[in-house]
Structure 1
Amino acid sequence: MTDTARPAIRLMPKADARAIRWGAPWVYADNLVTDRRTRAMAPGTLAVLQDAERQEMALVAVNPASKIMARIIDRDPAAVVDHDWFARRLARALSLRARLYDAPFYRLIHAEADGLPGVVIDRFGDAAVIQPNAAWAEAHLDMLVAALVEVTGVSTVLKNAAGRARSLEGLDDESKVLIGTMPDAPVPVVMNGATYMADLAGGQKTGLFYDQRENQAFVQRLAAEARVLDVFSHVGGFGLAALAGGASHVTCVDASAPALDLAARGAEAMGQGAASFATRRGDAFETMTALEDEGLHFDLVVCDPPAFAPSKQALEAGLRAYEKVARAGARLVAPEGGYLALCSCSHAATLEKFRNACLRGIGRAGRAAQIIHTGEAGPDHPLHPQLAESGYLKAVIFRVLPA
């Protein structure tokens, strides 16, 4: 199907066309007229979205196999999605990041918020890792990659196909090199004065989580001369930032041995040895219980777990898990007082629900606290105003009062 002969899909009469006109980026299957023709469309097909009166509204990407059956690609129904179209979107995204950061290490494309639905691109200097998490992006991947190289000048582009989003779109899980060669060693990334080792080949997601940069900077301000515990540390996100902030000692806890090895290599690159940095591998809850049993306490405790509430169906169980984390973390804060940073990357858990779960956990640990900071993802992860899912990250930092 060419750009000049596109199929059309139509909203049901009951669908709220105003929401789409005002910027909503998704159209769910139950809001569309579906017949044999629409169900037969290949995933990723570009089509014209019409309202119930057949007035053209936007250019969309269709995936009949997904609950999100249509994603808004362009508000112009006649837009041509070609190399130049991708280049314009990428250049617009790059202009923001170039203004924000003095080195090319950031999230370059944050999906719908940057006008490329379902696409995530993280940049690591001369390399970029792309997650094409929607069928339309997979279908246009060659064009997207060519535009990416032209706009940014990167020499290596890797495809990361891991993750739940691709499976929901009916896509494969084959990660591979698209341009250049696979890095033969972790890529050092400097943020907030700390050095992180990003494994672009075998690490989680794209190799490093850029979204916590601003929250790590705030925690760093609390870290001078502090004994710090970083739980669910991955490659040492908060712990290494605390070291750069003058922490007297940092302990990183994670279930992944490769992630902890990268954290230790980051500390070594910063000139920090065993006297100031340690790792403990194990289940986070079991390890926090063991630390308490050992009588250990910390001036600053950070807990940045995976998404305990990835969907509305998992929300209540997820909130109980966040409460449990808060309780365990608060019990490890020094009796004379300290700080507790708690994070959630669950879009289904609103800030209010997450914060309340944290407060219940702190209270059940027998501690009282003040909220001193509330954070979200950094500005290289912009929010789409009509898409709550783009505001997934929350960080609430407490000053825990003396017991």
Structure 2
Amino acid sequence: MTAPFSDSAHTPQTETDRATVRLLPKANARAIRHGFPWVYANELVTDRRTKALSPGALARLEDTTRQPMGLVAVNPLSKIIARMLDEDPEARLDQGWFEARLARAQDLRARLYDAPFYRLVHAETDGLPGVVIDRFGDTCVIQPNAAWAEAHLSTLTAALVAVTGVAHVLKNAAGRTRGLEGLDDVSGVLHGQAPDGPLPVPMNGATYLADLTGGQKTGLFYDQRPNHAFAASLARGARVLDVFAHVGGFGLAALANGAAGALCVDGSAPALDLAQGGAEAMGVADRFATRQGDAFDVLAALRAEGAEFDLVICDPPAFAPAKPALDAGLRAYERVARLAAPLVAENGILGLCSCSHAADLGAFRTASVRGIGRAGRRGALIHTGFAGPDHPLLPQLAESGYLKSLFFRL
């Protein structure tokens, strides 16, 4: 369980404690030199000294010929035993180091968006491995999902305030990734104070309510912004069904762009309450409805009721977060498509999304098409969408391109 929010501080390793770690011959040193940011546990010499390093310890990385490769953060408890931090093995992780990376990240987002509501830091692609920072006006939420970031959290927070000028910084410690790093799930207030309630977030003409202390992840999913916009462009006059809706991502965007009505389905009553609040804030509550329940059950029930929609979007959680879950995850995506397709009116649109790291675009598309076919429908793929530009993709790291959205005309 996540503990109540409280102040927290961490003491980073001193520069004089820095160790040296070395790649095994089997490691792909060339890939690392060309930008791959991780070293797996079976690629590093793990002698007694390396195993004794504390999670998040800084170390100089060398190749098999003892040539320096850069500065890494080491975690002997993780399958990703080392994360590349800097090409300079002697780099100092002081406030200035963090400020330089944060300033570069903020400069990109300021060029992309008119208002300060976006993902500010997207982990490895912004030079801060394992770190996610979402900005909500004058509040930022940090997810330090790697041990090195936890150890330097106070310095990161000070740099974040200095660069952005935000009044409040929260720590979100939820999620499976921290567990894989051997970290706890204790969230807290790092600077300023937690908001009294949900914060309104403007996006694509809609207003979303983000619960930064009790909601999923950091409170809102910014990654779907361009896919919300594409779906909304098809929504004028449409009857819309938004399944796995969370706080109303697709449904509220559709209503903001002239949908005749939107039904949002989710298993979480608090999330649907936030969606309802967003609809009320937008003045579209008369065209908005929610239905709580298991998404698969609700889809089957809607079909039994003879319901029909012009635009149906399904944005489920990650059914295949890792390779061992891939087969089961693809079957789940196929099932979503099979249950959703019969609810789409003739010449209507079905949008299907996946945020699974392990399911690549081809596999997800195949599962979706199979599900549509098994529902007795035929679809033409009209659009493929990905995460927005505030979630940049690191070409060397396939995991950074996790989000896929497929839109079919049935």
TM band (smaller chain): over 0.9
1:252 aligns to 2:260 (yes or no): no
1:88 aligns to 2:88 (yes or no): no
Correspondence for 1:151: 163
Shift, 1:41, TM fit: 0.2
SS in 1 for 2:300: helix
1:367 aligns to 2:377 (yes or no): yes
5+ long unaligned stretches in structure 2: 1-12
214, 217, 230: which one aligns with 2:242: 230
Correspondence for 2:317: 306
5+ long unaligned stretches in structure 1: none
Correspondence for 2:173: 161
1:18 aligns to 2:30 (yes or no): yes
Correspondence for 2:336: 325
- Opposite residue 137 of structure 1, the aligned amino acid is A
354, 357, 382: which one aligns with 1:347: 357
Shift, 1:6, TM fit: 1.9
**1:337-371: CA deviations, max 9, x gaps?**
20000000001000000001000000011111111
- Opposite residue 373 of structure 2, the aligned amino acid is G
Correspondence for 1:196: 208
SS in 2 for 1:253: strand
Correspondence for 2:304: 293
SS in 1 for 2:237: coil
Superposed, which structure 2 residues align to 1:64-213 within 5 Å? 64-213=76-225
- Opposite residue 354 of structure 1, the aligned amino acid is F
Correspondence for 1:399: 409
Shift, 1:4, TM fit: 4.7
Task: Name the TM-score, length of structure 1 as normaliser.
Answer: 0.98
SS in 1 for 2:351: strand
SS in 2 for 1:337: strand
SS in 2 for 1:228: strand
Q: CA RMSD in A?
A: 0.7
- Opposite residue 127 of structure 1, the aligned amino acid is T
Alpha-carbon distance between aligned partners in 1 of 2:347 and 2:40, rounded to the nearest angstrom: 49
- Opposite residue 281 of structure 1, the aligned amino acid is Q
50, 66, 74: which one aligns with 1:62: 74
Shift, 1:237, TM fit: 0.3
- Opposite residue 188 of structure 1, the aligned amino acid is P
SS in 1 for 2:73: strand
SS in 2 for 1:106: strand
Alpha-carbon distance between aligned partners in 2 of 1:303 and 1:205, rounded to the nearest angstrom: 19
**1:232-279: CA deviations, max 9, x gaps?**
0000000000001100010000000000000000000110123x1100
Shift, 1:76, TM fit: 1.2
SS in 1 for 2:344: coil
Shift, 1:2, TM fit: 3.2
31, 47, 54: which one aligns with 1:42: 54
Alpha-carbon distance between aligned partners in 1 of 2:167 and 2:285, rounded to the nearest angstrom: 34
Alpha-carbon distance between aligned partners in 1 of 2:25 and 2:192, rounded to the nearest angstrom: 49
SS in 1 for 2:353: strand
- Opposite residue 300 of structure 2, the aligned amino acid is T
Shift, 1:13, TM fit: 1.6
Task: Name the TM-score, length of structure 2 as normaliser.
Answer: 0.96
Correspondence for 1:315: 326
SS in 2 for 1:212: helix
Superposed, which structure 2 residues align to 1:258-269 within 5 Å? 258-269=270-281
- Opposite residue 62 of structure 2, the aligned amino acid is Q
Shift, 1:380, TM fit: 0.1
SS in 1 for 2:217: coil
Alpha-carbon distance between aligned partners in 2 of 1:13 and 1:325, rounded to the nearest angstrom: 44
Shift, 1:5, TM fit: 5.2
- Opposite residue 87 of structure 1, the aligned amino acid is E
Alpha-carbon distance between aligned partners in 2 of 1:170 and 1:51, rounded to the nearest angstrom: 27
Alpha-carbon distance between aligned partners in 1 of 2:218 and 2:246, rounded to the nearest angstrom: 13
